[in-house]
Structure 1
Amino acid sequence: MLRNHHPHEVLTHVEQNTNWSAKTFTLALKVERIIFEAATSRESYLDENTLHARVTQVSRRLIDLRKRKNMVKFGIRLPRHFMLAKRQRH
């Protein structure tokens, strides 16, 4: 998956994203560790049929976490109805 990843051209023109390859590799290592630690067994960890779904799920969680950290950093609050809906999904 990592080998096939290429960022959008717009993103590579931003100075902070010139090192996108190293950042993507670091993110891949984090995702791998989380998937490994969450696996209930060696077989479930090695199951290639569910790999894409597991990677997607972990990646979305990491993105949500980053968004929440940024919101706290900049003092942004989500509307109350959004927070309640999000809690009910989990």
Structure 2
Amino acid sequence: MSFRPTVLAARRGHELRWRGRLILPGLLDGEHYFTLKPVGSGTLFTQGETFSGLLVGLVGSTTFEKVEQGMKAMNKALRQRAETDTG
């Protein structure tokens, strides 16, 4: 799926957040975020997405499950890279 998101926040080393929309505002909107937070000698990475709009109930759980699976796969790959990359 291709879309043209609107960047809502871009704070280097802290947060990246954007909103994507399907056709019209309020039809099916998704706000996605990445946050970074220092924890001890490491960094806590968090990502998530919130969907809203008239079509949320009609899209079906399968679509949202695929989104979640994609985020989990990205998190796993990022963790593997971060833990093995010596810079």
Instruction: Flag the structure with higher strand content.
Output: 2
Instruction: Give TM-score, length-normalised by structure 1.
Output: 0.33
Instruction: Flag the structure with higher helix content.
Output: 1
